[in-house]
Structure 1
């Protein structure tokens, strides 16, 4: 009998721990399930109100809150419902189990009817409206290029920047024929989905141009260009952004070169 007593005590302790764990889960479910359901319903109603008042401009923004509502609602109710059903099946903690089952069950039904079912309409509609919004953004971007407020192509951007290249060379007292110049373009895609091209030009000044003198002269000139431009300096690099050309001319101290780079100018549909 003496040898058997520790085993009995260990078994009773395990049973007590199991009951305590089950009770905590049930109480947790009773408390959390209603809160989770309320949050899920609130998010779902916000989406519906946004659609009613058309405050969701791009459509796709509605998908995120709706998915979050589904996840929160199911995570708050399904585990509590399972825990309650298991406790009732094992006939333990029947009062707490009944409460958890009823609360989680009602919450689960509410989530399915008021959050999950509407999602079958909200999510496809959000996807369609997001596509339509993206297409409108793409067309608006092309309209901005055609409006003439900026360069119509990468080549035009490069041509507009030649004035600033010539001014920089004149300021540094360097003849255009004395420098080595290479030009190229790169292709890409804008955030709106249009294909685009960017202009690049590299002018090698050579060792005969003193770096310290060039830095002082270009800084003094570019920093006073005016409202059409923006000047920036960092890590041995001077940048003059020309807003009308959607491009930047830079001087790189390490390489002693002038570098012209335009934005990626939209050129059409992908």
Structure 2
């Protein structure tokens, strides 16, 4: 496979660079050791006829690799790098366009507002007054996979030992399983988790700590 065919068949951010580098490595590993071994054999006059033939074949193979793989790479690898940068920039802009178009929340603060209903429903279900629950809210900064700066919403609600863990598990499991198409329920290792898709966030109950945790994706 040459770099030209690889480049012509890809348009996903410089993916041609990978196959080309692989072709260079394989080609050089297949020819250079054989060429060196043949030259050493000729120098030491060991099986001269066989060594001469092997050296010629290895030399021809090395030239082919250089002409068809290595030389084109000097032009195409920089092009692949530029294409990867352009692709990444387009992904970044598309992500911002999705936010502007209303696909998902536009900020960590908006996530908190969207998830407040879930928190209130859980506390009401568990017969816990919001004023008695110890709540901590914060945000963290980061960068999305597309390269945009972002912030994630976090909230911790400590239920306290007065809230029975067995009945909490049963109530939340029943309620969260019935949430419908815009949410997904998971249960594993003492953790109940409800993913709320419109908010790009989850609310979890951790049995060991008897607390509710709200966490969002990093929102640009």
TM-score by length of 2: 0.96
Task: Decide which structure has the larger Cα Rg and report it.
Answer: 1
Per-residue CA deviations over 1:104-154 (Å, capped at 9, x if unaligned) read 111111111111100101111111101111111111111111111210001
Q: Is the 8 A contact 2:13 2:88 kept in 1?
A: no
**Stretches of structure 1 lacking an aligned partner (at least 5 in a row):** 1-42
Q: Is the 8 A contact 1:184 1:201 kept in 2?
A: yes
- Structure 1 residue runs of 4+, over 3 Å off? none
Question: Which of 120, 127, 130 matches 1:176?
Answer: 130
2:153 corresponds in structure 1 to: 199
- The 5 A counterparts of 1:129-148 are 129-148=83-102
Deviation at 1:60, TM superposition (A): 2.3
Q: Is 1:48 matched with 2:41?
A: no
Structure 1 or 2: more helix by fraction: 1
Deviation at 1:50, TM superposition (A): 3.5
- The 5 A counterparts of 1:16-35 are none
Q: Is 1:102 matched with 2:38?
A: no
Distance 1:84 1:233 in 2: 64
What is the RMSD computed on CA atoms of the aligned residues?
1.2
| Other structure's SS at 2:15 match | helix
Distance 1:61 1:200 in 2: 36
Per-residue CA deviations over 1:205-256 (Å, capped at 9, x if unaligned) read 1122111111100101001110000000111111011000000111111111
1:73 corresponds in structure 2 to: 27
Q: Is 1:151 matched with 2:105?
A: yes
Q: Is the 8 A contact 2:6 2:19 kept in 1?
A: no
TM-score by length of 1: 0.79
Q: Is 1:190 matched with 2:138?
A: no
1:86 corresponds in structure 2 to: 40
Distance 1:203 1:72 in 2: 57
Distance 2:165 2:45 in 1: 87
| Count of residues paired in the alignment | 220
Q: Is the 8 A contact 2:6 2:20 kept in 1?
A: no
Distance 1:136 1:181 in 2: 39
- The 5 A counterparts of 1:155-166 are 155-166=109-120
| Other structure's SS at 1:60 match | coil
Q: Is 1:250 matched with 2:191?
A: no
Deviation at 1:87, TM superposition (A): 2.1
**Stretches of structure 2 lacking an aligned partner (at least 5 in a row):** none
